[in-house]
Amino acid sequence: MPGELDRWAAERAGELIARAEAEAVAELKAALLRAATAAAEAPPREPAPKATPDVAAAPATAPAPPAGEAVWAYCVARDDPALTGGGSGVHPDGELEWLSGGGLAVLCSPVPLGEFGEGPLRRNLNDLAWLERTARAHESAIEDALAQTTVVPLRLCTIFSDEAGARRMLEDRRDALTAALEALHDRQEWSVKVLLDRERLEDALREPGAEAGEPGSGAAYMLLRREERQLREVVDRRAAELAEDVHARLQERAADARVRPPQNRELSGHEGDMVLNGAYLVERGQAGELRELVTELEQRHRHLGARIELGGPFPAYSFVPEHE
C-alpha cells in the first residue's frame, strides 16, 4: 500500500492540488451560497444584552458550527440501474449514492455543514492538507464511476443544499449534460507537459565562439550583453516553436485539445520551464498510439533539453462545457 500511495503522489498529487486550488477559487462563491442555504433559513438569533457599567462584559465565544447536511456532487452519467455507489466520498461518514432525474444520474454524498458550510469551507480551502485530501477523495469517486460508464466530471465544491437541488440541476442542464456525455463517450483525457532545461537549450543554440572575447573592456562587455540578449530572444522563440510542434502533432491524433496555463512550480514540483501544458481527448483504443507519439517527440527534441511527460487517463475535466 505505501508503494501505491507513493506512485499516486508522484503521478497525480501535484496536478490535483494545482487544479483543486484553481477550481476551488473559481467555484467558491456559488458553492458557498448553495451550501449555506439551509443554514441561512434558520431564524436569526436575538442580540445579546449589553453589560451594565459596573459589570465586565463576558468574553466573546466562537460561533457554533452550522448543523445539518448538504450534498456534494462528483459527476453525471446516463441513468442506469446497473450503476453502483457505495463507499465514502469527501467525508468519511458520507456514502456515495446515485440520484436520478431527467434520464440522468448524479453521484453524490452527504457532507456536514460543520465542515462544508460557508465559514468552515472558507477556512478549509486555505488548508493545503485538507484541500489535497478532499481533491483526492473527489477524484477517486469519479474514477470509480468512470470505470462503470461515461461520466461528466463536476468541479470541486459542487455543493447543493439537498438532494432535490441536485436533481433540479439534472433537469435544468439536461441538454448540455446529454451533449457532453455524447462528446465524451469512449474517450479519455490525457495530459502532456513539455518541460525545458533552458540552460541546455542555450548551449545547443549558442553559436561557436560566442563567448570568445577580451574581458575587461567596455566594448567587450557591451558586446557580450548584446549577444546574451539576442540569445535569450532566440531561446524564447525556439521554445515556443518546440511547444507548438508538439501540440500540433498531438492535436492531429486527438478528438479535441486544450492548452492550459503552466502549473505553479511550487504546487506541482516540476523542474524546468513548462512551455506546454496540454490536454487531449483521445479515443480509448488509441492510447497506445498516443504513448508512441510522445516517445517519438521526446526523442526528436531531447537534444534541445526538452522532457515530455504524459499523464492519464483522467476524467475529462478540460472538455466539459463551461456553465454559469
State yes or no: pLDDT of 283 exceeds 80.
yes
Residue in the structure block whose three cell numbers are 465544491: 157
State yes or no: pLDDT of 165 exceeds 90.
yes
Angle in degrees, 0-180, between the axes of helices 174-184 and 163-172, rounded to the nearest 10: 70
> Which grid cell is 182?
455524447
Q: Residue 194 pairs with which residues in a beta bridge?
A: 276, 308
Q: CB-side exposure of 156: number of CA atoms within 13 Å?
A: 27
Q: What is the mean pLDDT of residues 280-291?
A: 92
Residue 190 pLDDT grade (very low, low, confident, very high; cuts 50, 70, 90): very high
Rg of the chain over Cα atoms, rounded to whole angstroms, equals: 26
Looking at the chain, which runs of residues are DSSP E strands? 69-78, 97-101, 104-112, 152-153, 159-160, 187-196, 256-259, 273-283, 306-314
What distances in angstroms separate CA 309 from CA 128, 135, 214, 270, one per listed residue?
25, 22, 42, 10
Q: Give the span between the Cα atoms of 109 and 54, in whole angstroms.
A: 52
* CA nearest to 165, candidates 36, 24, 269, 257: 36
Other CB atoms within 10 Å distance of the CB of residue 151: 27
Residue 227 pLDDT grade (very low, low, confident, very high; cuts 50, 70, 90): low
Would you state the pLDDT for residue 223? 56
- pLDDT tens by residue, 167-187: 999 999 999 999 999 999 989
Would you state the pLDDT for residue 14? 52
Task: Give the chain's mean pLDDT.
Answer: 77
- pLDDT tens by residue, 109-127: 999 999 998 889 999 989 9
- pLDDT tens by residue, 130-141: 999 999 999 999
